[in-house]
Chain A
Amino acid sequence: MAPAALAGTGVPSDSEVLSKVLEVERLVVLGYRRVLASGAVGADDEAVLEPFLAHELEHVSTVAARLEALGASADTGPLDVATGDSLLAKHHVPGSLTDLHSSTDCLRLLVNLESVAEGAYFTGLKTLGTSELVTLSAQVMACEAQHWTVLSGLRNPGIYVKSVPWPFVTGSS
């Protein structure tokens, strides 16, 4: 959908939607990297988190490629911690990327970041203009929901009502 076609309608263009999603994905990548560098999670949990970081990096590169195909710029470089913390505040995520002293701190941060990622894709689905982008967004949103479930399961082993607490996934804003 061309941005010009949406001028004055209040409806975000596909580029605007994907730019917001890309910013969130880069924040999620930073979150996983900070957690893995913190030394606060055990080796078993690290083995779960490392593939999830790889997934998030795939999301970044895929969304960036779609943005560039739309003629928009797409920064895929790593965010610095100060920018990351300001984005946490923007998305109302409590805590800090420098305040990761325990497994609880780490997993809570990642669960919250996965919620933000779910919400970014969920919001985008309302207005995205092409079938390809809609399908991609749904696929990634579902992947983030699966991450959410596994991360929550690490915090609450065997307590499925906490890992899959809701019959509908909408994420957070």
Chain B
Amino acid sequence: MLYRYLESSAAHRRDYIASIPHSAALGMDMVEVGAGRCVLRLPFQAPLADVHGGLAGGAVSALLDNAGGVAVFCSLARATDFSTLSLRVEFITAPAAGRDVFARVECLRLEGRQAHIRGVADCGDADRPGPPFATVSGVFFLKPHSQPLHDLASLGNV
């Protein structure tokens, strides 16, 4: 399972995010991974704040999309390219003012070319989730015959 590659080293987790230009630009941080799941953090930063003082909804959507992708990666047995087919975010309330946002997303099942994800966003701590302020569900579509973005052969051995 590919998740062991990310689980085994903080440098591998950093390299994964660094290979996605927009995620690196937003300062996303891969806090934790497991089999088919991950926790990503988006640090609070004023340029990404909404009128409510918390991180903007769009930035949260970007984090949840990315966390969905990492959860799918963490379900794969071998490196395979994939992309988001659909993503739905529901906001219960706005993220808390001035707080980091954590995305906790799991890949429910990977079957054929479809991978279905579910998750939440909260303003808790890395290891202590707060009450969710948003939920996400989505479908990623696998492209088994294309060159994978995160090819372990180019990242190093597992």
Do A and B associate with each other? Answer: no
Binding site for B on A (CB under 8 A): none
